[in-house]
Chains A and B, each alone.
Chain A
Amino acid sequence: MSLLSIKNMDVSIGQYSVLHGVTFDVPEGGVFVLLGRNGAGKTTTLRSIMGLWDRPAGSVTFRGEDISSLHTSDIARRGIAFVPENMGIFGGLTVAENMVLATASGKFDDTRLKRVYELFPALEQFWDKQAWSLSGGQKQMLAVARAIIEPRDLILIDEPTKGLAPSIISAMGEAFREISETTTILLVEQNFAFAKSLGRDMAVIDDGQVVHTGAMADFAADTALQDRLLSLSMEGA
């Protein structure tokens, strides 16, 4: 059984129909990459899974339970974390306070906190600093760290490499690889080289519809298919 199954999801924002019949399955474990051109509907898909739009038509099933009608906070409590494109951190709070917010009890599990420090040493260094003072890369680290400070079954990550320096992207890739050993990641990414290096399975979304699903290795090997579906618009392809 898939960890997350999306069937015939339709989403409209105002008078515009953004997603039409989006259907794909995210298997448990590894990184599932959602590819697509700008404006194809990738971010809307992630936000709809999290219940951040009005209830979508169709179904979103997580571990066999339809979560499409649940409140965002209840979806998060089911073990799904969301790292949005704008990172979603609270700039006026310290790094420590941002991290506390992601814990259920308000207390840190020492083992997990140690793991966060190992993955992102900068966060330990700036622990008591206000989050707005961090660099873009450090903010992204904080956003990801917040998603893994508690045990999660699925992390939705939206374009984590956008605007980051290559060295930070590389470090982020290492971190995702390690995180995906224990937690499934649904990754939306424009940087194809980055996506290719991490993804096990993938789907391509175009004009609000899923136009291809399969193994990342097969897609990476088929340049004609990449040209057709992504129009070579993606960085590093």
Chain B
Amino acid sequence: MKGNTTVKLIAFAIWALLLFAPFFFQEVRQVEVAARIAVFIVLVASYDLLIGYTGIVSFAHTMFFGFGAYGVAIAMKQLDNTWGYWIVGALAGVLVAIVIAILIGLLSLRVKAIFFAMITLATATVALVLASQLSTFTGGEDGITYSVPDVFKPATKLLTDDEGKVLKIAGVRMNGKIAAYYFVFASCALMFWVLLRIVGSPLGTVLKAIRENEARAEGIGYRVVAYRTAVFVIAAIAAALAGAIYATWLKYTGPETTLSFAIMIDILLMVVIGGMGTIWGAVIGATLMVLAQYYLRDLMEVAADATASIPLLPELLSPDRWLLWLGIIFILLVYFFPAGIAGTIIQRRAAK
């Protein structure tokens, strides 16, 4: 089996698990993890379009994510929790993302990669400060809590039985919560498919050519700055839409959930773990990282209990040390999968 096929099969299996997640995993936290994985797949895949396919290092991806999230949050809070205002909020977030991405792109994509990265870092910092300062709109450090369209409210009965009660299918209540999950799943799956189409199109080939050698790409007729700006805008749109979807799921938007640099680092790690320049790797990277963030502590607690009779080990495996172990796992992954999990599988199979 070709490496590419193996990676696609793994990614399809993850998407299939996400599709049936509310039926397989019925705890609130488990469904929360599934929704977060779906959103982060889009976020990571769109970032891979930049760093993996075009060679653009940006620290502003969470800023665009935040624009979409705050667009929906402010519209829901300040206007009304209807679909009309949801669309207005999401479009406003996307529009701001497009304008800022074009400005950053045209002004700075001509400079060397490191300067571009610094410019995006500065812009993202300004956005983070503004989100904290403009507390009338953004809720400042506390963020905003709001209602979402009625169809997503837990009390909403999507399907009812003969007695008018919420219908249960395989033990799962067909209420607004399930509607919200499938809204997140379907939107993210659609966006991932669009990103796949972009990568598989001639545009994707041009991006890879630019990453490999800008001067050669220019020499055969491609305006590198225009293409780099275009891909920066596409990635910004995808991130903003992912933000709008995540804001709808969480019913809360704050600096910590959307704009923080900790999320930016997470995205970077997910791209590296999955494999840069292998968009399917985004599915693997996002899944592993989110699972580790949510369950590594639990796993370590079990391990610490199991090794309670052995000296030193329970101390080392204490759940409080989960970040240390996450770091060790990351180092091991990079060591054994230098091109990321998807990238290394593809390379090793190709070499055989």
A residues at B contact (CB < 8 Å): 50, 52, 71-73, 76-77, 81-82, 84, 88-93, 97, 100-103, 105-106, 146
Contact = CB atoms under 8 A, between A and B. Distances in A.
B255 to A, nearest CB: 39
A88 B205 contact: no
Contacts of A81: 220
A73 B206 contact: no
Nearest to B205: A97
B223 A106 contact: no
Contacts of B205: 93, 97, 100-101, 106
A90 B208 contact: yes
A92 B208 contact: yes
Nearest to B218: A72
A88 to B, nearest CB: 5
Contacts of A88: 216, 219-220
B298 to A, nearest CB: 41
B212 A100 contact: no
Interface string B263-305: 0000000000000000000000000000000000000000000
* Top-8 shortest CB links A-B: A106-B202, A76-B221, A73-B223, A72-B218, A97-B205, A73-B221, A88-B216, A90-B212
Interface in B191-225: 201-203, 205-206, 208-209, 212-213, 215-223
B178 to A, nearest CB: 41
Contact of B218 (A73, A92, A93, A97): A73
Interface residues of B, number: 18
A101 B215 contact: no
Contacts of B220: 76, 81-82, 88, 101-102, 146
Contacts of A71: 218, 223
Contacts of A89: 216
Given A100-B205, A101-B206, A106-B202, A92 B221 contact: no
B201 A106 contact: yes
Contacts of B213: 90
Contacts of B219: 50, 52, 72, 76, 82, 84, 88
A146 B202 CA distance: 15
Given A72-B218, A97-B205, A102-B220, 7 more contacts: A50-B219, A72-B221, A88-B216, A92-B212, A93-B209, A100-B202, A101-B222
Contacts of A82: 219-220
B212 A52 contact: no
Contacts, number: 57
A89 B202 CA distance: 16
A173 B202 CA distance: 31
A81 B208 CA distance: 20
Chain A contact surface mostly:
loop
Contacts of A146: 220
B218 A101 contact: no
B221 A93 contact: no
A81 B220 CA distance: 7
Contacts of A93: 205, 208-209, 212
B88 to A, nearest CB: 36
Nearest to A84: B219
A90 B216 contact: yes
A72 B226 CA distance: 13
A219 B212 CA distance: 42
Given A88-B216, A90-B216, A77 B208 contact: no
Nearest to B204: A97
B226 to A, nearest CB: 8
Nearest to B277: A92
B209 A90 contact: yes
A77 B215 contact: no
Nearest to A82: B219
A46 B213 CA distance: 19
A106 B212 CA distance: 19
A233 B50 CA distance: 49
A90 B215 CA distance: 11
A50 B215 CA distance: 12
A106 B208 CA distance: 14
Contacts of B201: 106
13 contacts: A50-B219, A52-B215, A52-B218, A72-B219, A73-B223, A89-B216, A90-B213, A90-B216, A101-B205, A101-B209, A101-B217, A101-B222, A103-B202
B199 to A, nearest CB: 12
Nearest to B211: A92
From B212, B216, B219, B223, name the one whose CB has the most chain A CB atoms within 10 angstroms: B219
A107 to B, nearest CB: 8
A92 B210 CA distance: 11
Contacts of B217: 101
A134 to B, nearest CB: 15
Given A90-B209, A93-B208, A73 B215 contact: no
